[in-house]
Amino acid sequence: MREIQYSTIDQEGVLASFTTSYVQKDSQKRKKSRNQQTLQIYSAQQLRKMLSDNGFHVLEQNRVDESLFDEQDSDRILTIAQKL
């Protein structure tokens, strides 16, 4: 099996990932498949506002490893929110 992946991010913060996979068993014909997914990227502030606007109270925002979140230094957010 061989996979080739590349990603793009546009000015609106939409991350698009594309994966092409090749699978070949023994002398069988090689099979090719393509996958793609898109994700929207939000800042911590945008995420807090979005959750608040939809009836949630943000309890915590941490790094994924649960250490203290730093908006300037952290690239991933673990957000814990409660529906009001």
Higher pLDDT, 72 or 23: 23
Mean pLDDT of 40-55: 92
Q: Does the structure show a pLDDT above 90 at 27? A: no
Q: How confident is the model at residue 33 (pLDDT cuts 50, 70, 90)?
A: very high
Q: Rounded to an integer, what distance in angstroms lies between the CA atom of residue 71 and that of residue 76?
A: 9
Mean pLDDT of 51-67: 94
Q: Could you tell me the residue ranges of all domains in the chain?
A: 1-41, 43-84
Q: pTM of the full predicted structure?
A: 0.59
Q: Does the structure show a pLDDT above 90 at 79? A: yes
- Residues 8-25 pLDDT 10s: 988 887 899 999 999 998
